[in-house]
Amino acid sequence: MTSDLPSPSPAYGIVPGPAPADPSSEFGVIAHGVQRRFGSVTAVAGIDLRARRGAVTALIGPNGSGKTTLMLMLAGLLAPDAGRILVGGHDPVTQNYSARSQVGWMPDVFGTWDSLTAREVLVTTGATYRMSPEHSRQRAAELLATVHLTDLADAPAHVLSRGQKQRLGLARALVHDPAVLILDEPANGLDPRSRIELRTLVRSLAARGTTVLVSSHILTELDEMADDAVFISRGRTVAQESVVEARVHHRTWRIKALTPEPLLGWLRSVNLPCAEHADGGLLIQIGGEEAAARLLRDAIVAGVPVVSMSPSGGALEQTYLSLDEDRR
């Protein structure tokens, strides 16, 4: 059924190694050449991405780059103008109900549910997935506990705070225990403890085999949550890499010594340009972790009183900033 899906462009470096015989078995989400316009605006101009089962894939791009539009198409809520999509092995265009039943979708804002209580929101969602009333009620109670909303279960959803609404939105996405979870800026408005819990929950779902696709502008958070990253700009895929790869290619490091003079002198002697960091340390460009380890060893052997050395900023942030940013 999926063997006719065209291979993605090697220019995007989408999949390392040979393509699997049945891509849907390894990837929970496959998008190829996906496009979508709104009148004269091209929101998604050509996106290729693959999100592995049992892994968390970050969708990263500037404002207006097409993340939400893409996610709506993957969730089966918006039809693409061109391209192919498979979620959990189903095509949202031709098999809309079966594709949608595979997907848990958490929008960036919860929306209004008039006078329904938090519990009723979840029970009603269960009914739309044809779950029995009893199963829906049991699942609602379970998920309200997971997102710490049991005390507010019978309060009207519209009175919940922004962060509480986000947590209810997450619970709603999980009602039918979907194989694919699509989260649009899920950490927006969450307090620090809720962010940590979100990360833990997402990781545990991935460990159980769920395919998770998550967008966020908080790249340090994605550094800790994601396995893979897809970068988009102006509606096109511009890079896809694993987070481990991003760490290896990490370029800017911050090094600090007890006093800057011996460090500056030594860096000059080994011909390594540097820039000053606000905290009195120096920023240097290093090609990967092995080179960093060598440099640290050499500095110490040369008698430089190094007190700290670490990558400056997260791995994904570095990759993001190295791309031509195109906000709109």
Ligand X SMILES: Nc1ncnc2c1ncn2[C@@H]1O[C@H](COP(=O)(O)OP(=O)(O)OP(=O)(O)O)[C@@H](O)[C@H]1O
28 contact, one of Mg ion, ligand X, none, CB 5-8 Å limit per kind: none
237 binds Mg ion (CB under 5 A): no
43 contact, one of Mg ion, ligand X, none, CB 5-8 Å limit per kind: ligand X
80 contact, one of ligand X, Mg ion, none, CB 5-8 Å limit per kind: none
65 binds Mg ion (CB under 5 A): no
Provide the sign of the torsion angle of the four alpha carbons 74, 77, 80, 83, taken in this order: positive
Nearer to Mg ion, 68 or 102 (CB): 68
* DSSP codes, 278-307: TTS-EEEE-SSHHHHHHHHHHHHHTT--EE
Q: Which two tokens stand for residue 242?
A: 């694993």
SS3 13: coil
Nearer to ligand X, 42 or 242 (CB): 42
Give the integer Cα–Cα distance in Å for 8 and 86: 13
Please list, in sequence order, all residues whose beta carbon lies within 8 angstroms of the beta carbon of residue 217, skipping any fewer than 6 positions away. Answer: 185
68 binds Mg ion (CB under 5 A): yes
Stretch that binds Mg ion, among 64-72, 76-84, 153-161, 267-275 (CB under 5 A): 64-72
Identify residue 61 by its one-letter amino acid code. G
216 binds Mg ion (CB under 5 A): no
Please state, in angstroms and as integers, the Cα–Cα distance from residue 187 to each residue in 24, 70, 196, 274, 318, following that order.
29, 19, 9, 35, 21
Q: Using the rule CB under 6 A, which residue among 41, 79, 159, 207 binds ligand X? A: 41
Stretch that binds Mg ion, among 20-28, 61-69, 268-276, 288-296 (CB under 5 A): 61-69
Give the integer Cα–Cα distance in Å for 140 and 190: 21
Total residues binding ligand X (CB under 6 A): 12
Min dist. Cβ of residue 68 to Mg ion (A): 3
Please state, in angstroms and as integers, the Cα–Cα distance from residue 242 to each residue in 22, 50, 65, 93, 300, following that order.
21, 12, 21, 29, 32
294 contact, one of Mg ion, ligand X, none, CB 5-8 Å limit per kind: none
136 binds ligand X (CB under 6 A): no
Q: Are 57 and 230 in contact (CB under 8 A)?
A: yes
327 binds ligand X (CB under 6 A): no
Min dist. Cβ of residue 48 to ligand X (A): 16
Q: Which residues are near Mg ion by CB under 5 A?
A: 67-68
Q: Which residues are near ligand X by CB under 6 A?
A: 38, 41, 43, 61, 63-69, 328
